[in-house]
Structure 1
Amino acid sequence: MSDSFHPGEREAQERAGETAIADRNIAVLSDTVIAGARPFIAKQFMGVLASADADGKVWSSVVFGKPGFLHTESGRSILIDVAEAERDHADPLWANMTPGADLGMLFIELGSRRRYRVNGSVLRLDQHGAEIAIYEAYPNCPKYIQRRHLRRSGEPALPAPATHGTVLHGEAEAIVRQADTVFVASRHVDSGADASHRGGNAGFIKLMDDSTLRFPDYDGNSLFNTLGNFNVDPRGGLCIPDFERGQLLQLTGAARVLWNQDDPHNETGGTRRYWEFKIDRWILRNTPQPLEWEYLDASPFNPAVAS
């Protein structure tokens, strides 16, 4: 299975002592969406997308639509039915989706803690939507997902208000401090873009200063896709939802992985791993659609947050 991982992933697996586990877990990897996952994708109203802009900056985006707007018939490509009139062009995603561009996709159902990951490249983007060719797909574990139920979704109203910045203050800072859900984008020059999820109890993200965030890295599936990508290319993106106010905070910057750190309060759940994210730029946007969420409960796997 060694050819299934690039050197950055192998380095992270070896440092964590989890190479053998990674080799076992990679058995779920496929070059198509398996038949059982296709109805799951089609029922989603939310998709997480990882892309890179013309300058190489990596962005994490969340798009919403009526169930069925994300779908695959053959399992070899994903269709994203978001018409031109429904796209928020304050989100860099739409400019980044040029034919041939890498795109990472995460289909996550917060209410059931199920998720499925697909990586591919853009075949087309036109006025009706996009089609993404698939080159790898696999399920993810349900850990660290806070359960939420979408009670109501309205029609898109564009343009949606947006603000920009380079350091965290005010509303953007408050969103980071209360976050319990983060979507992470990373990229490898050969393996492409990747979208993943990080979650924890509110306060699990620490602000080291007004442009640096620190994340504890919990036990996962041992593949180390995200940290492996950061080992090779530190550029990354974050998207932090504010479920209460219907906003998305998107940040682009660079990550640094920290191994074998002191962790007296067991913030990492025993891994002693962290990663820091240095912000280059952020965008705070309202979601195009009005969304009303109901919080259900936190993941039972979340480590406690030190005060």
Structure 2
Amino acid sequence: MTNNLRSVWHEGELTVQKLMGTDKLMADIGPKFIREFMPLQHREFFESLTMILIGFNDHHSDIHASVFFGCVGFIQSTSENELVINTQNSMGDFMRDELVIGSRIGLLGIQFDTKRRNRVNGTIIDISQKYIKVKVLQSYGNCPKYIQPKIVLNHPDYANFSTLTRQQLTQRDHDLITHSDALFIASSFNDGKSLNSRGADISHRGGEAGFVSINPNGQLLMDDYVGNGFFNTLGNLHQNPVASLLFFNWKKGHILKIQAATEIYGNDKQSSPIKLAIGENKDKKKTGITLCFTVKEIEYYYNGLAYKTK
């Protein structure tokens, strides 16, 4: 395998791609589609955003998902290889304290009105109390599939923060999760090699309301839908089965964050990554994989969302 391919995909992604039959296609298009720079269209897209999701590892190497907000222009693309993000407006988690120069982070920009989304994985090369500067290692777009369109308004109580931490889901959590049409999932893989495919990642998962269910044991279940065939998230979880999930309460302006252990099931429902592809998949919208999340910690951020829907 060429070093170029290894820098695009890591072992977990390659394993899942092979099991799911996309490995040959990904070997061809991966180095072409995943760039070390942002094309002009992506640079302009990021500069137009008022929200950006971030996946990062803390000083204990635990994965976290979070989000920054700002007016148009709070993100600047100073070159095709760099983004500067104003980090003063978060969801109230004070995650800036966990970011240091050299951190490998994942970024996701999404517009719910246009259903556009683009991603950057990179390294923090400068940091202050007001911003981070990120060197781009991987830049690529995602299709609009499964993004449910929304028109959002400013949340007048944003930043009037309070936080609750607990270990078990409440009925309110159940209601939010099972009625959500989107979640954001952060995951990571790091084997110590300084290749572009290492580090944290964050992605969007969406569907009709109820695409995430909760079983009697309190575990979250989510079927994997057919997408671009990259399997970034599944590849990370194959190697490092922990995740951080965000659910947005768009009506109230709150955010639910869940730290979870993950298991990957094939159609035969056996929790073994080796058996991902077993079973006949009759639903062509789904890959035949189900993700199972066992809740480890829950944080509820009141007024942590800068925007609300009507």
User: What's 2:167 paired with?
Assistant: 166
**Alpha-carbon distance in 2 for matches of 1:247, 1:277:** 21
CA contact (8 A) 1:59 1:251 kept: no
TM-score (norm 2): 0.86
1:6 and 2:10 correspond: yes
1:277 and 2:290 correspond: no
1:95-121 Cα deviation digits (max 9, x unpaired): 321221121000011111111000012
CA contact (8 A) 2:104 2:199 kept: yes
- More displaced 10-residue stretch of structure 1: 202-211 or 222-231: 202-211
CA change 1:87–1:291 in 2 (3 A) is closer
User: What's 2:45 paired with?
Assistant: 40
Number of aligned residues: 290
2:57 to 52, 60, 66: 52
Amino acid corresponding to residue 247 of structure 1 in structure 2: H
1:4-62 Cα deviation digits (max 9, x unpaired): 21111011011111112323442211111111211111111111100112222211112
Cα RMSD after superposing both structures: 2.2
2:264 to 246, 257, 266: 257
1:19 and 2:19 correspond: no
**Alpha-carbon distance in 2 for matches of 1:10, 1:100:** 25
1:213 to 215, 220, 227: 220
User: What's 1:303 paired with?
Assistant: none
1:223 and 2:230 correspond: yes
Unaligned runs of 5+ in 1: 295-307
1:196-233 Cα deviation digits (max 9, x unpaired): 01001111111124542111001011011000011111
**Alpha-carbon distance in 1 for matches of 2:188, 2:126:** 20
**Alpha-carbon distance in 1 for matches of 2:143, 2:305:** 29
Amino acid corresponding to residue 184 of structure 1 in structure 2: I
Instruction: Please give the secondary structure, in 2, of the residue aligned with 1:185.
Output: strand
CA contact (8 A) 1:164 1:282 kept: yes
**Aligned residues with identical type, % of pairs:** 25
User: What's 2:153 paired with?
Assistant: 151
TM-score (norm 1): 0.87
**Alpha-carbon distance in 2 for matches of 1:171, 1:126:** 37
CA contact (8 A) 2:166 2:299 kept: yes
**Alpha-carbon distance in 2 for matches of 1:261, 1:197:** 26
Instruction: Please give the secondary structure, in 2, of the residue aligned with 1:20.
Output: helix
CA contact (8 A) 1:251 1:282 kept: yes
User: What's 2:274 paired with?
Assistant: none
